[in-house]
Structure 1
Amino acid sequence: MFGNGVVGILSEATNKWERRAPLTPSHCARLLHGGRGKTGVSRIIVQPSTKRVHHDALYEDVGCEISEDLSQCGLILGIKQPKLEMILPNRAYAFFSHTHKAQKENMPLLDKILAERASLFDYELIVEDTGKRLLAFGKFAGRAGMIDFLRGLGLWYLNHGYSTPFLSLGSSYMYSSLAAAKAAVISIGEEIATMGLPSGICPLVFVFTGSGNVSRGAQEIFKLLPHTFVDPRKLPELHEMARDLTQSKQPSKRIFQVYGCVATCQDMVEHLNPSKSFNKADYYAHPEQYKPAFHEKIAPYASVIVNCMYWERRFPRLLTTKQIQDLMKNGCPLVGICDITCDVGGSIEFINQTTSIDSPFFRYEPFNDSYHYDLEGKGVMCSAVDILPTEFAKEASQHFGDILSHFTVSLASFRNLEELPAHLKRACIAHYGGLTQLYEYIPRMRKSDLDDPSIVLSNSNGNGRKYTVLVSLSGHLFDKFLINEALDIIEAAGGSFHLVKCQVGQITSDSSYSELEVGAEDKSVLDKIVDSLTSLANSSNSLGSQDKENNISLKVGEFQETIMDEKYDSKKVLILGAGRVCRPAAELLASIGSMTSRQLPKSSVTADFEEQNCVQVIVGSLYLKDAEEVTKGIPNAKAIQLDITSHESLSSWIAQVDVVISLLPPSCHGVIAKACIELKKHLVTASYVDDSMLKLDQDAKSAGITILGEMGLDPGIDHMMAMKMIDQAHAAKGKIRSFVSYCGGLPSPAAANNPLAYKFSWSPAGAIRAGWNPAAYRYQGEIIHVEEAL
């Protein structure tokens, strides 16, 4: 089907907010009516979508066909990853796949593409000769992110006692166009210019990090407000001027502008040698010779940090958790961080989660290192929305399609990769059932994923990997297969590796860059690995200028002992089932470690209470998408696909955790309980304990584990509520005359509009099965037995 000239456009199904299209109706019109000989496109079939920013009728008007069936298409285009069932044999696909770094969550998609012998082109990998990406939404992310944050700023200040013009601004998606959104920003800018801002929140200083498209997009919106840009070196002077104003006898004085400051890498670090000045080339080559300075030179004067910078682990962080804690203790005026990079745990260490368009903000409280989902308390408002460009779906689609439509001409007609221009050929990850040469490293990277229980290092003392070091490699690692030699060295010595960062050179002259976290149980083993990698780099470099393409640049970070003692090790909990009960459980467990004894209810804090390390939550479901939906936005939580009928798979995951929680139907508990007994892991269930579970009592005791059943709503919470009321009555010297408990889907009287006055609030099958169960209760001093229905 390759090269048949028929193009398909996918409906986007991964996120309800995804309204963008790879090609707009106007792009389709040019491709269809430009002549097959010129464009290579004879037909365009568009999957119907009621949420796409361009309606189906607009595509039909220019000659496109509307159909769910894309089987006649040789080239299929999308924005985000399609569902696995949409991958058809021997077709070419182009979308943002997020697979070239062996991202675990997208490996089933890559496997499906390989199995169907399809071709995969990744937009992220289409770059010009200079290495600059040709298909990106950076400016739109900056624009949308800045507008959304200004809206949040209005809410933040209102919660802290200030009314500001920002409060009247909407989120980006609330406007019909980018122009309309800009007009709204201009309007609040006019109000600031005429009415001013309260002096108590001024000077309002926005610090922009980075100078790329994302930063430029954010600054484009900022510049619509009355503003002055300040040199980073002048920030202390501005701060002093503002302090003098607040200490004057004019507390009601208003400020009629905001301030901006663009911080680049020279403002973020300093050379360890005070006699040496900053040199960008030297910093990129030897980041270990520089120390962080942003927290001293810039952050103390910032009200808002708009983070748009590119960051790698080998560089100092922009802000660490310890630095923000010290800053806030010293009265730093920082109220918010707009992290448009969405780099979780990256340049800003305490950004530990992404947020959504629905819930774009969370509050980080540095004083006790805790996270909250309101804007009312102390701390810093944070935003890290990872799908910002779709808020301006119309303009973003037009911008994207303006470029993609030119590439479509080649992709719609190619039959052999060699026919394609170099920038497209090198963006092809898979072709005819195999990985292309540049991406043959992916299987090795998949094996490096330490989340896979089959490759976690064994350790007789149960503490796992003990020593780690970050190793940075640069050179022609992938096209010359030098990465394989490095990985062979690590594995042969008995070590492990985990891919932290991966940048693949996109043109022949480009080198690639990888960061590997190398681990071993013994420091001497790790020393040996580092020595061998150093020898590999030295031997490649000793070949001299005649073979520069085989040179490797190696940098070794500081050795770290990652696990000190078992009692400090974080605990892991596996939750089976991704229904409605799952998310509250995952949120509560993941919050342990970020909640201190001061935050916990007094009733749960005993005299011997110890602060907990964080709990890692793993949610397993037969359907990965359900688990991903549950864990989205929850720190320390991840989703896996798990079929409990596979004993090998179930056991491998149970073996990695401390406690298993089954939120599956009672019929599933037996197989789970037996695996927990075999592996000596505790189990909690939310359903009734039936006869088959009761028979496992002695086996559980022999294994030294606890199986705690009936910890749901009914039974579970109803028992606790009952005993609470009974105990309270007894404490008040009362007597229980009668106790009747109703539990289930009892609607409010106004909604009880059926003969049973009952509505299902849980599984109908479960409710019906419960109705068959035997029961025993006391009525007027007599024990009443109800026999089983069947």
Structure 2
Amino acid sequence: MSLRRVPVPLPPGRFTHRFYASQSTPVTVGIRREDPGRKWERRAPLTPDAVAELVSHDKVRVLIQECERRVFPVGEYIRAGAEVHSTLAPAHLVVGIKETPLPSLITSPVPSITQGSLVPRTHMMFSHTIKGQEFNIPLLSRFLAGGGKYADPHLAEDGSLGARLIDYELLTGPDGKRTVAFGWHAGVAGTLEALVAMAKKHLEHGVASPFLYTPRPHTSSSLDAHRAQLRHIGSQIVEHGTPKSLGPVIFGVTGNGNVTQGVLSILSELPIATVNVQDLPALCGNPGTDLRKIYLVHALPGSYISRNDGAPYDRSDYYANPHEYRSEFHTKIAPYLTLLLNGVGWNVGFPRLLTTAQLALAKRLAAIGDISCDIDGGLEFVTRSTTIDAPSFDVNGVTVVAVDILPASLPQDASVHFSERLLRYVRSVVNDYKGAKDEDVEASNALKGATIASHGRFEKRHEWLVPKVKAWRATQDIRRHDTSDMRSAVGGRGGSVAKRKRRVLVLGSGMVAGPAVDELAGRPDIELIVASNSLQEAEKLVAVHPNARALFATMDDQTQVSQLVKESDIVISLLPATLHPTVAELCVEHKKHMVTASYVSPAMRSLHSRAQSAGIILLNEIGLDPGIDHCSAHALLSRLRAENKRVVGFTSFCGGLPAPEAAEGVPLGYKFSWSPRGVLRAVGEDAKFLLSGRNWEIPGESLLLQHFPDVPLSNVLKLEGLANRDSMHYAETYSLDGGELRTMLRGTLRYPGFAALMHSFGAIGLLESTKTIHLDRWSSLTRLALEQKLGVPIPDGDAPTLSSALASVLPPSRVPALLEALNWLQLVPSPDASPLAGSPIPVPGQALPPADALALHLAHALRYEPRERDLVLLHHEVVACDPSSDTERVYTSSLTAYGDARASAMARTVGLPVAFAALRVLDGSVRATGVCGPIADEAVWRGVLEGLESKGLCFKESVSSGPSMEGVLAADLQRTTTASASASF
């Protein structure tokens, strides 16, 4: 497309006099500085040598912005004939690497080389807009007419002088292949980064490989130096082999373009043995495989893409009908790889190379280098790009490298290569501005094809982006309207113009509040109020957040709480579960949304129709268990249904535990990362479930006896389990209430010994929750609870009588373990008891039920000490049948999370889902109303899983032919039930 010249008078004062000093203005090329936020971006689109050619040969004026980070010093450009310029406003053509930051973007017209007319300006860049990337829609808007303040203010409404946007990514030759790209260098740099990540991951597992000596790409100015180091690593492999525990090291490479050619080029320095896809099973299965080689499978689409009807891959048909094809990469290739180097591109509508769920099947895979870096693309789990500072993140135990400026790690080599190829296109644009005949017809045609927008409108093949720009502009108009309303509300032009922030009210400041507060306050458009009966706790939570504040409030002051709810946009209740319905009533009254992590109680459920009438959601069960368990189970079950699998068994266990080292020698093998009273209450709840075809109903008083002594979900940890409330309710929730279901069980995980000791506590009256006692000291709690239980007095300080009384309600064999625990906890008089760490907890002044008193004491005695970690385990097992073959497979999905110095695992897995869900509701993504759980709306459960993944809390999935755990659980439960029935206590 040639540049249309529009003879209009030059507007007065818009351009400097100096710019029009001569009768003929030279065509001017501007080289801009890159976004200051991209601190590693050192590349240049044109080298000083290219500038010298343009100045001397083409008589072009070249302007350059100063940048001390650029790989070529500005002095070299000055010596080549360039002039330093701060804004590049005179430039007809502006060239850069990445997209121009909006504050620096100039799209106004420029004078033609003949005085008296204006012509459109041209920008060349990687704009990252051609796929409709949301984050760059504001950039596109500036090139289009009809946008008011969202287009360039200098444009006429028809956009006739609108700037031209040319994207390097669209510059191609007659063969359709890209001609100006950094792909080859991205392949080299991405391979080096991925090799480093792979070596680190192996080291985490206790294996040191020769690849630990791989240099990161930015650590040398010379690509030759990197090659020499890889050759040295290769010589070590030839001499000593790779570690036996890794088996054969197999690299998988995808793609066939410049990226892949870069990958293969740098890997050629290693002792590579090329293999085919069909060779992989034998290669891994043969213990005699030669470990003095690195095996490489270059996987082209035909080896892993096939039609859904079983027909083979056909390239032209695939691109015409991508929905008719599926990827089998996860079964044919991924399970055998040590490292995946992805160089294949992806477009919407095409099958993904690898999904997050499929990644769990790649047990050998240590690292992935996603060199294509398609966010939410062919690798589903690549949801964000990484930086050279922090080049990787973990998903399901696999390290993922997704640096989006990989060639910037090799800035000099990459810039020289790029500049050599770009120069012809720059000359073509220059000739167009000169009105001269362009001898390079191929370049001119390529520029037409690479133009996204010009003269204020999209080129035809990009018109599909119009609705995206219109939608973005509409949201900006709404925000501007909101700002205008606020200006009016505070007194017109003299008032503030700041947009009103959304107000989030958090009620409660307990153990799980920290991560929720941090996540919510991380949004600058939110004003956060943390209201608590412990002002000190609340102030600590908000101390580092300028958009958050703490308030003292209690539920006793209904007027105050009602006003806080009224002034908020959404309410998050982290209060005790019994108080949620009271908060919900206020939310219904004031028509405010509410989110809480607790189970839906009958009182809460009774508000359903009123909440629907009010148009609000009362979102419950959005913590860990319930919460994440529902989200992850629903995701797994939905996927199996989509594959036409028939679910016959569902087993799920979850537990919040101390890390093994923190549980050693501690009564119950337990410490409290959430409400102790909630833990004690849960062990007395009735349970109802289906296991191996038998319906079970266990009353609360028998739950601790009829437990699962061995839950076989870990090869490392020994665990026991308790059935969790009414599992059958969730058969309906998960749509598993068909007649073929033989197992529906949800349980709680504990370390061995928990159930027996907690049952002993109950047997001696420590779990009594109705009658009260009055303590004078903690060491009398056991005696007073037991007196109440037996109805007879026990002399204070009489150890033999106390032991005898304990033996009257427990088998004698259980008494020593109980007394040992009570001594440790200082709940019986003992001259040998060691004082508990920290300040002693005050004895309550009022009469309390023994269970409440025990909860108070355990919160202190079994609290986490500094530097102690907690552990969250969540495990689903689904047994599903394939109707076509009538064979059963066992599908598992597991989450393992440890606490750290910032927050406990429990706080993260309860607090973060609450925050993610609240933000989805606040942003208008959630359409459900009434009393709901997370799977009532996809925006909630998918948003929670995606949010957790972004924080490194990922589910690991696997599939096998069995056996499932239900047989072990059924046999163990039968034994504990028989033992319980024959017990004399």
Q: Normalising to structure 2: TM-score of the pair?
A: 0.45
Question: For 1:208, what is the secondary structure of its paired residue?
Answer: strand
* Deviation for aligned residue 1:236: 1.6
Match of 1:8 among 9, 15, 30: 30
Question: For 1:363, what is the secondary structure of its paired residue?
Answer: strand
Structure 2 residue aligned with 1:340? 371
Q: String of CA shifts for 1:153-175, please: whole Å, max 9, x gaps.
A: 22222222122221122210111
Q: String of CA shifts for 1:712-746, please: whole Å, max 9, x gaps.
A: xxxxxxxxx9xx9x9963526699xxxxxxxxxxx
* Deviation for aligned residue 1:35: 4.2
Q: Find the aligned partners of 1:311 and 1:237 in 2 and give their Cα distance.
A: 30
The 3 A distance-change label for structure 1 pair 643 and 415 is: farther
Aligned residues: 492
The 3 A distance-change label for structure 1 pair 214 and 604 is: same
1:298 equivalenced with 2:336 (yes/no): no
**1:758-769 paired onto structure 2 within 5 Å:** none
Structure 2 residue aligned with 1:97? 127
Q: String of CA shifts for 1:527-586, please: whole Å, max 9, x gaps.
A: xxxxxxxxxxxxxxxxxxxxxxxxxxxxxxxxxxxxxxxxxxxxxxx9969xxxx9xxxx
Match of 1:82 among 92, 97, 100: 100
* Deviation for aligned residue 1:282: 3.2
Question: For 2:839, what is the secondary structure of its paired residue?
Answer: helix
**Conserved 8 A contact 1:339-1:384:** yes
Question: For 1:28, what is the secondary structure of its paired residue?
Answer: helix
Match of 1:315 among 345, 350, 361: 350
**1:178-197 paired onto structure 2 within 5 Å:** 178-197=223-242
Structure 1 residue aligned with 2:304? 268
* Deviation for aligned residue 1:663: 4.9
Q: Find the aligned partners of 1:727 and 1:5 in 2 and give their Cα distance.
A: 78
Q: String of CA shifts for 1:596-623, please: whole Å, max 9, x gaps.
A: xxxxxx9659xxxxxx99x9989655xx
Q: String of CA shifts for 1:73-120, please: whole Å, max 9, x gaps.
A: 222111112232333321322111223344332232233344143332
**Conserved 8 A contact 1:575-1:617:** no
**Conserved 8 A contact 1:271-1:291:** yes
Q: Find the aligned partners of 1:618 and 1:237 in 2 and give their Cα distance.
A: 53
Match of 2:841 among 720, 728, 731: 731
The 3 A distance-change label for structure 1 pair 303 and 417 is: farther
1:224 equivalenced with 2:334 (yes/no): no
The 3 A distance-change label for structure 1 pair 105 and 318 is: closer
**Conserved 8 A contact 1:340-1:385:** yes
* Deviation for aligned residue 1:681: 2.3
The 3 A distance-change label for structure 1 pair 435 and 139 is: same
Match of 2:63 among 36, 39, 45: 45
Structure 2 residue aligned with 1:444? 467
Match of 1:682 among 537, 560, 571: 571
Q: String of CA shifts for 1:123-180, please: whole Å, max 9, x gaps.
A: 2222223332221111111110001111122222222212222112221011112222
Match of 2:88 among 70, 80, 97: 70
The 3 A distance-change label for structure 1 pair 281 and 439 is: closer
Q: Find the aligned partners of 1:575 and 1:154 in 2 and give their Cα distance.
A: 49
Q: String of CA shifts for 1:291-344, please: whole Å, max 9, x gaps.
A: 43222222222111111112234333222233333x25xxx3222221112223
Q: Find the aligned partners of 2:180 and 2:318 in 1 and give their Cα distance.
A: 28
**Conserved 8 A contact 1:575-1:661:** no
Structure 1 residue aligned with 2:48? 25
Q: Find the aligned partners of 2:448 and 2:138 in 1 and give their Cα distance.
A: 23
Question: For 1:93, what is the secondary structure of its paired residue?
Answer: strand
* Deviation for aligned residue 1:263: 0.7
The 3 A distance-change label for structure 1 pair 199 and 403 is: same
**Conserved 8 A contact 2:569-2:593:** no
Structure 2 residue aligned with 1:352? 383
**Conserved 8 A contact 2:210-2:237:** yes
* Deviation for aligned residue 1:226: 0.9
**Conserved 8 A contact 2:202-2:366:** no
Structure 2 residue aligned with 1:638? none
RMSD after superposition: 4.6
**1:214-253 paired onto structure 2 within 5 Å:** 214-241=259-286, 243-244=287-288
Structure 2 residue aligned with 1:259? 295
Q: String of CA shifts for 1:240-266, please: whole Å, max 9, x gaps.
A: 22x356xxxxxxxx8322110011111
Structure 1 residue aligned with 2:426? 408
Question: For 1:197, what is the secondary structure of its paired residue?
Answer: coil
Q: Find the aligned partners of 1:170 and 1:397 in 2 and give their Cα distance.
A: 21
**Conserved 8 A contact 1:45-1:64:** yes
Equivalent position amino acid for 2:53 in 1:
R
**Conserved 8 A contact 2:189-2:410:** yes
* Deviation for aligned residue 1:33: 1.4
Q: Find the aligned partners of 2:434 and 2:591 in 1 and give their Cα distance.
A: 62
**Conserved 8 A contact 1:101-1:445:** no
Question: For 2:142, what is the secondary structure of its paired residue?
Answer: helix
Q: Find the aligned partners of 2:134 and 2:437 in 1 and give their Cα distance.
A: 32
Q: Find the aligned partners of 1:449 and 1:675 in 2 and give their Cα distance.
A: 33
Equivalent position amino acid for 1:255 in 2:
L
Q: Find the aligned partners of 1:162 and 1:668 in 2 and give their Cα distance.
A: 49
The 3 A distance-change label for structure 1 pair 303 and 68 is: same
Q: Find the aligned partners of 1:450 and 1:336 in 2 and give their Cα distance.
A: 41
Q: Find the aligned partners of 1:112 and 1:123 in 2 and give their Cα distance.
A: 19
**Conserved 8 A contact 2:335-2:365:** yes
1:388 equivalenced with 2:406 (yes/no): yes
Q: Find the aligned partners of 1:293 and 1:75 in 2 and give their Cα distance.
A: 46
**Conserved 8 A contact 2:197-2:392:** yes
1:209 equivalenced with 2:240 (yes/no): no
Structure 2 residue aligned with 1:167? 212
Q: Find the aligned partners of 1:4 and 1:704 in 2 and give their Cα distance.
A: 65
Q: Find the aligned partners of 1:272 and 1:317 in 2 and give their Cα distance.
A: 14
Q: Find the aligned partners of 2:305 and 2:344 in 1 and give their Cα distance.
A: 14
The 3 A distance-change label for structure 1 pair 255 and 727 is: closer
* Deviation for aligned residue 1:56: 0.9
Question: For 2:453, what is the secondary structure of its paired residue?
Answer: strand
Question: For 2:410, what is the secondary structure of its paired residue?
Answer: helix
Q: Find the aligned partners of 2:244 and 2:180 in 1 and give their Cα distance.
A: 43
The 3 A distance-change label for structure 1 pair 280 and 427 is: closer
The 3 A distance-change label for structure 1 pair 348 and 707 is: closer
1:177 equivalenced with 2:222 (yes/no): yes
Q: Find the aligned partners of 2:523 and 2:437 in 1 and give their Cα distance.
A: 44
Match of 1:155 among 187, 197, 200: 200
Q: Find the aligned partners of 1:733 and 1:312 in 2 and give their Cα distance.
A: 66
Q: Find the aligned partners of 1:133 and 1:95 in 2 and give their Cα distance.
A: 14
**Conserved 8 A contact 1:21-1:78:** yes
* Deviation for aligned residue 1:26: 0.8
1:703 equivalenced with 2:573 (yes/no): no
Q: String of CA shifts for 1:4-56, please: whole Å, max 9, x gaps.
A: 411111011241111011100011111111143xxxx1x21111111100011
Equivalent position amino acid for 2:198 in 1:
L
* Deviation for aligned residue 1:643: 11
**Conserved 8 A contact 2:172-2:179:** yes
Q: Find the aligned partners of 1:131 and 1:675 in 2 and give their Cα distance.
A: 62
**Conserved 8 A contact 1:676-1:682:** yes
Question: For 1:338, what is the secondary structure of its paired residue?
Answer: strand
1:109 equivalenced with 2:136 (yes/no): no
Q: Normalising to structure 1: TM-score of the pair?
A: 0.55
Q: Find the aligned partners of 1:255 and 1:205 in 2 and give their Cα distance.
A: 10
* Deviation for aligned residue 1:66: 2.1
Question: For 2:135, what is the secondary structure of its paired residue?
Answer: helix
Give structure 2 stretches of 5+ with no counterpart. 6-24, 110-120, 145-151, 155-161, 439-443, 479-498, 528-541, 552-561, 574-584, 596-672, 677-835, 846-985
**Conserved 8 A contact 1:28-1:59:** yes
Larger Rg: 2
The 3 A distance-change label for structure 1 pair 219 and 676 is: farther
Question: For 2:123, what is the secondary structure of its paired residue?
Answer: strand
**Conserved 8 A contact 2:521-2:545:** no
Structure 2 residue aligned with 1:142? 187
